[in-house]
A and B are shown apart, each in its own frame.
Chain A
Amino acid sequence: MSRNEEIPVYNRIAEQRELLGMSRQQLAESVGVHYQTIGYLERGEYSPSLVLAMRISEVLGKDIQNLFSIQPFAKVK
């Protein structure tokens, strides 16, 4: 159900959310989406609109380019 099946959008939502000690439900409520949508986003099964990506970045306190990318993020040990 991705917006664009061919170009996946990689993200670090789960990482950043866990760092802030936030649940998916809390993040979903903060950005105004259903909690399942956060799950879909984190699993890479859905690519967000620009507005949603910006809202998530704002809530998680990260720049959008540090949170979303069309290139896979390098794994941090």
Chain B
Amino acid sequence: MTEKKDNKFYWFSGVTKQEVVESLNDSRPSIFRNQFNRRALVLFTVVCLICFSLIFCILQPKLKSYAEIILLAMILLLYFQLRKSVRNVADAPDELLDERQIAIRNTGYLHAYRWLSVLMMCHAIGLIAIFELFLGNFNLAENFKYSQPIIAFCMWVACLPSMVLAWQLPTEHSISEDSK
């Protein structure tokens, strides 16, 4: 009962207390403690998200379905890996973080919001362009399925704070050095 109460789930943040505490105190070596590797992870996620948005270009239905499933699974895996790579700081509530972590998380959200505005504009321009190019000419816009760009946009929203932090945070000093 106590254990259950201790492992509080933060609905708004989508994390459990235990998950955040374990992640913050994780002293095991990880390739994602290094900024270069974290940045590579961010770039790979960006590529996957862009590819997912462009799936509608695939005309073959079977290939389209496979690509959709594989990319979505990859994006979800990358999302959880991104969260882990920044020790869940991007999603953790204030009460589990110290003032420095709160400051970097908040700065991360500011940048994420700015990037989100850019992405929103790109999606809007992209959709308008599709309508302008195809509507009335080839009637392709009528058959255009919005699900992939919408799902991709939702994943951008979910991933961006962690992506910004993963990109910005410097390489972590070794655990032994920081805790000695």
Asked if A and B are interacting partners, one says: yes
Chain A residues within 8 Å of B, Cβ to Cβ: 1, 3, 23-25, 28, 32-40, 46, 48-49, 52
Interface membership of chain B positions 136-180, coded 1 if the CB is closer than 8 angstroms to chain A and 0 otherwise: 000000000000000000000000000000000100110001111
Q: Are A39 and B99 in contact (CB under 8 A)?
A: no
| A29 CB → nearest B CB, Å | 10
Q: Are B178 and A35 in contact (CB under 8 A)?
A: yes
5 contacts between A and B (CB under 8 A): A1-B103, A24-B178, A33-B98, A35-B179, A38-B178
- A33 contacts which chain B residues (CB < 8 A)? 98-100
Contact of B173 among A28, A34, A39, A49 (CB under 8 A): A39
Contact of A34 among B24, B103, B107, B180 (CB under 8 A): B24
Contact of A23 among B101, B169, B173, B180 (CB under 8 A): B180
| B109 CB → nearest A CB, Å | 14
Let me know if B78 is at the binding interface, CB within 8 A.
no
Let me know if B104 is at the binding interface, CB within 8 A.
yes
- A40 contacts which chain B residues (CB < 8 A)? 100
Q: A23-B180, A24-B178, A52-B99 are in contact. Are A36 and B104 (CB under 8 A)?
A: no
Q: Are A25 and B101 in contact (CB under 8 A)?
A: no
Known contacts A35-B178, A49-B99; 20 further A-B pairs (Cβ under 8 A): A1-B100, A1-B169, A23-B179, A23-B180, A24-B178, A24-B179, A25-B179, A33-B98, A33-B99, A34-B24, A35-B179, A36-B172, A36-B173, A36-B178, A37-B99, A37-B100, A39-B178, A40-B100, A48-B99, A52-B99
Which residue of chain B lies nearest to A32 when distances are taken between CB atoms in the complex?
A: B98
- A32 contacts which chain B residues (CB < 8 A)? 98
Which residue of chain B lies nearest to A25 when distances are taken between CB atoms in the complex?
A: B179
CA of A48 to CA of B99, assembled, Å: 8
| B166 CB → nearest A CB, Å | 14
